[in-house]
Every structure is written in C-alpha cells, then in structure tokens.
Amino acid sequence: MRGVPAGADLWVFGYGSLMWDPGFHFAEVRSAALAGWRRRFAYRISGGRGTPEQPALMLSLEPGDGVCEGLAFRVAAEAVEHESACIWRREMVRGGYRPCLLPLATPQGPVRGVVFAANVDHPEHVGELPLDETVATIARAAGPLGTNRDYLEQLAQQLDWLGLADPYVLALQQRLRALEPEPGRG
C-alpha cells in the first residue's frame, strides 16, 4: 500500500472469489488483464473449504506465460482507508499472498492495481501440482465455508459469465466432472 499515493483511488485485481464476492465497496469495475501471471490452485489450506484432515487447494496467482484475465475494482480515494482494511483482513489473514502493485490492462486504459500474488515462501504454498492430484484434492475437500468443488464451480461459472477463457480452470472442471458426476445427474 506504500506505493499508492495518499488521496488517490485504489485499484484491486480480482482473479478468484473477489470476482463474484468482492466483500468491499467499490466505485467502478472493469475487465482487466495481468500479463505474465496465471491462476493456479497452489495454496493448501486447512480451514475455509478444507480441514486439517483434508486440506483444500485455493487459488493463487503464479508467475508464468500468458495473461490472467479478471476484474479491476476501483475504490474511491475517500473510501480507500476503510475498504483497504477490509480487503487486507480478507486476503492477508494467513499470509499466503504477497500483495504488489502491478500494471493492469483494461479496455479504458492501463491502471496500476493491488494484486494478491502467491507468497512462494509460505509453508502452505505447494506450487503447481499435477492436474490429477489437484482434481483429487478438490473432489474430496470440504470445510465450514463449503466444498472445494463448489469453489472451482463458482470460479468457472464466473469466468464463463464474464466471457473469459481459462484453459486451466476448464481442464480442472472437466476432469472433476468426469471423476464425479454433479449431484442430481445420476
């Protein structure tokens, strides 16, 4: 946050659950793309959608080829102090992310936004696992906030609704559905 000038608006990049449940007030939202990064289920957690006995995998933003598409939320300058505290409590509670200010491409022009990237030094950061291992973990994990499968399905649904293609998320969703039919589908 030190890189955000006092009295300026704050842009926040959403690439996972922030896209469908931001949990903070914003003045504007835009489609956004972050070059050189990609979504991966690479952060193992034993709370939320997992348990100590069956940890879940949550999204992290990993450096890599390509572009990660998501949403950029603009928090108005007068609300930055309060809303950034809300965002911080949500995203930084366990230290699994490393916030940084990065350039985001939007249809209305470039902005610099706070991006919650992977903290590769965190003990629960597992990096990119083989797809079958990722799918097996997502299929089994459930916790007080619901199932890991529901998180993946919500992500895929939001990306589809926004018209964004993410081959990694689609591959996970297809493998998960092949492994375990959706409830109510026999």
Helix (H) or strand (E) holding 174: helix 167-179
Active site annotation includes 53: no
Q: Measured between alpha carbons, how far is 133 from 70 in angstroms, rounded to an integer?
A: 25
Residue 5 CB: number of other CB atoms within 10 A? 9
User: For residue 107, what is the DSSP state?
Assistant: T
> DSSP 3-state assignment of 133?
helix
Return phi, psi of residue 71, to 5°. -125, 145
CB 13 within 8 A of CB 115: yes
Catalytic residue among 62, 69, 83, 91: 91
Task: Please name every residue paired with 13 in a beta bridge, in sequence order, or none if there are none.
Answer: 72
Kindly state the tokens that stand for 13: 């990049």
The residues annotated with a catalytic role in the active site are 91
